[in-house]
Amino acid sequence: MTDFTIMVVVGIGAVVGGAGMLHALVMVGDFGRRLIECFRKAPGLDFIVAWFTTGPAIAGLIGYGWRGFLGGIIGQMIGLVVWGWGHEFAHRKAAKGPRIVKVLNKLVGRRRNHCALWVSALAVPVFWCVRIGELIIYPLLIWLLRFPKHKQGEWVNVSRHKFDGLVGHDLIWCLYCDWMTGVWSLGSEMLRNVESFWCPIRFSDTNKCANCSLDFPDIWRWTAADGNMEDVTKLLEQKYGVGNGATVWPDRNSWFGHRDRVELTVESKSV
């Protein structure tokens, strides 16, 4: 067999075999269920997602170069489809019932819907870059700047496999969205701390402020765009406990609307 063919087979085996192992763990009692729970959220989930999204491709790149890399990706794609068919066959009643894929196929057409899903898979490296930053870069900011720590497993986790009737094709793509939504949301939360700490100055473009307020809700507490540097420094002193009359917050420099600030404000008022 050629290098490419070998990695196609490896990719199929990694996806189908890996999924089979996870299914098998559910059947081995409490230990298996506890292990599944560990794999359901970060950091255990990082290993599982890496196995299914990058493992065969990286192994192929290391072992056989670019032909092996491409073969690993093709194998992963085939393995994903094969597992989806198998899962739907094992849950025929749910597969014949109401499905997300059936509605969307009617809405935009089967070819467009399925093609678009594979296009969305091209974003996997983007989300992995964000995830690596959360694991490697942000902890340094916690240490250097006393940014708040986050229980990453509360953000980066999956749970849609528990939804009744979600099988095969729908299940695997919903789990993909489940993972990437958590990764992106955690990254946004970390970036809120970065922006508020270093650059609490409102944008002069009001449309941009309105759009960004979805991800940066404290933007309206930043210094107005027509303000001056004295306004910015006073705001920083007030929000981070520097200087006379400043509010003293816990030993972490969180963004202005972070829950530790809200909780402390409530406690102060109650006292």
**Do 165 and 239 sit in the same domain of this protein?**
no
Q: What is the mean pLDDT of residues 68-95?
A: 97
Whole-number pLDDT of residue 1: 79
Whether cis (ω within 30° of 0) applies to the bond prior to 43 is: yes
Rounded to whole angstroms, the Cα distance separating 101 from 107 reads 10
**Do 154 and 60 sit in the same domain of this protein?**
yes
Q: What is the pLDDT of residues 199-237, one digit of tens each?
A: 999 999 999 999 999 999 999 999 999 999 999 999 998
Joined together, the tokens standing for residue 147 give: 């940014």
**Do 72 and 162 sit in the same domain of this protein?**
yes
Mean of pLDDT over the chain: 91
Rounded to whole angstroms, the Cα distance separating 183 from 157 reads 9
**Do 229 and 162 sit in the same domain of this protein?**
no
Considering the entire predicted model, what is its pTM? 0.90
Above 60 in pLDDT, residue 176?
yes
Query: 266 vs 67, which has greater pLDDT?
Result: 67
Question: Phi then psi for 199, rounded to 5 degrees?
Answer: -135, 60
Q: What is the mean pLDDT of residues 239-254?
A: 65
**Do 116 and 245 sit in the same domain of this protein?**
no
Q: Which amino acid is at 258?
A: H
Above 50 in pLDDT, residue 101?
yes
Q: How confident is the model at residue 7 (pLDDT cuts 50, 70, 90)?
A: very high
Q: What is the mean pLDDT of residues 4-32?
A: 93
Joined together, the tokens standing for residue 141 give: 């900011």
DSSP assignment letter at 204? S
The domain in which residue 224 lies consists of: 199-270
Rounded to whole angstroms, the Cα distance separating 137 from 209 reads 27
**Do 107 and 206 sit in the same domain of this protein?**
no
Rounded to whole angstroms, the Cα distance separating 216 from 193 reads 10
Q: Is 254 left (phi over 0), alpha (psi -120 to 50) or beta?
A: beta
Q: Is 241 left (phi over 0), alpha (psi -120 to 50) or beta?
A: left
Burial string for 47-77 (b: 16+ CB within 10 Å, else e) reads ebbebbbbbbbebbbeebeebbbbbbbbbbb
User: Residue 166 CA to chain centroid, in angstroms?
Assistant: 20
Percent with pLDDT over 90 in the chain: 83
Of 128, 158, 190, which one is at a domain's C-terminal end? 190
Q: How many domains does the chain have?
A: 2
Contact 18, 52 (CB under 8 A): yes
